[in-house]
Structure formats: structure tokens, C-alpha cells
Amino acid sequence: MAALASDARVPVLLLPVGAVEPHGPHAPLGTDPLISRGMCERAAARLAGDPGVRVLILPEVPYGVTRFAAGFAGGVSIGEETLYALLTEICGALVEQGLPRILLVNNHFEPAHLAVLRRVAETAGVGFVDLVRRRYAARLTDEFRSGECHAGQYETSLVLADRPDLVDAAVQRELPAVHVDLARGGVTGFASAGMTEAYCGTPAQATAEEGEKTFSVLTDILVEAIRELV
């Protein structure tokens, strides 16, 4: 805190959020928080020399609401009120210490989970980079906008760009396409959507190169959100 007090730059705190859930037979359970942290690290690096802002990355909150993964091994869901209480208390503790500029950075898109984050942002007075909003989604890939990006080409490419050691490439390359729309109303889970192996989209087409390009766009979005807080 003493170091922050003596720094002329405005501190902005990034809180990576996600969920622990299966991402097919090829990608890690922690794919969502991994992507969130990857965004934060890249944004912090890009702004490292900025004279007006100091970006700090908080330890991630890896657990979220993930009922869609019910029945699949590895899914760990927490309730909406549990997540809400945890995030509001974290943000409240930081605000009390004179650090009000906080951004929730999330890459888990289950509707119930997103609803909690929007409520936290409103009641705690913090920022939220809500990637499913049209202003952001329009800048991301076709697969992301299609609603079939869970452990597909979009997410797998991001993991390949950040932690390729966590992707089983031999399995990934052989996975057939699974076409669903998780954003469609009435979808309640992976199983009911026909995702028998907890993935959709075209993970076999994922590449680290695509992941780096997508991370660049995600970093642009996050840097813009950071600047809006300063």
C-alpha cells in the first residue's frame, strides 16, 4: 500500500474470474480462468510503461456457477449467492483500502454466472468486461458469436497460445465438429445440447496462431476498459 500511495499512477485492479468445468477430452478444467488471467497479463504488459495507470492483477477466482456441466466429471459449481458474496466481499475489502478501480475479467459464459457478475458490478460499483455484449462480441471470432465456442476452436486456440502443454494435441486434432448453440434460449446443459464429450464447435481447427490473434483483440478490449476507469 505504501508503494501505491507514493506512485503517481492511478491503480487499476484486475480480478480474473472463470469456472472449473470439463472442456472436452483435450483441454484443461481451468480453461476459463486461464484465459481470463492471460488477458490480464497481456493488458498489464501492454500498459507497463504507461505514465498514468498502474495495472495490478489479483489472484483469480477460479470457481463459478457451472450447472451446464452437471453429470460430467471435473465440474465444480458454486451457487449464485456464494459467488455473489465472495466477489462483493473481495471488492468491498479493496474499496475500503482506497482501491475502488476494479475490473472483473471473465471468460465463463453460462447465463446464471453472467447474471451474478452483472449484479456484482452494479452493487459493488466495479467494472465488468462483459464479452457477450454486442459491442465486444462483434470483434471476436465467428465461432464465439455462434454460441458453440465451449472448448471449441475459439477457446482451444487461446489455451494453445497461452499454455500449449495443457492441451492434448493428439486428441484435439481428431475431434469431430459438434454444432450446437449454447446461447439459444432453453439450453440447460451440455448433455441436453448434445455435447456428449463436453465440447462443441471445431476444436480440431484450433491453432496457437489464432489464439494469439484473439488474445490481441481481447487485450485491446481490456485496455480500453481499463482506460475508461482512469
Q: Amino acid identity of 75?
A: G
What's the pLDDT tens digit per position in 108-166?
999 999 999 999 999 999 999 999 999 999 999 999 999 899 999 999 999 999 999 99
**CATH annotation of 2-223:** 3.40.50.10310
Distance (Å, rounded) from C-alpha 6 to C-alpha 120? Answer: 30
pLDDT band for 188, please (50, 70, 90 cuts). Answer: confident
Distance (Å, rounded) from C-alpha 38 to C-alpha 120? Answer: 22
Neighbours of 19 (CB within 10 A): 28
Domain boundaries, the chain: 2-223
Cross-strand partners of 105 = 16, 129
* Predicted TM-score (pTM) of this structure: 0.96
Q: Nine-digit cell at 137?
A: 462480441
Q: Nine-digit cell at 105?
A: 475479467
The phi, psi pair for 10, rounded to 5°, reads -80, 125
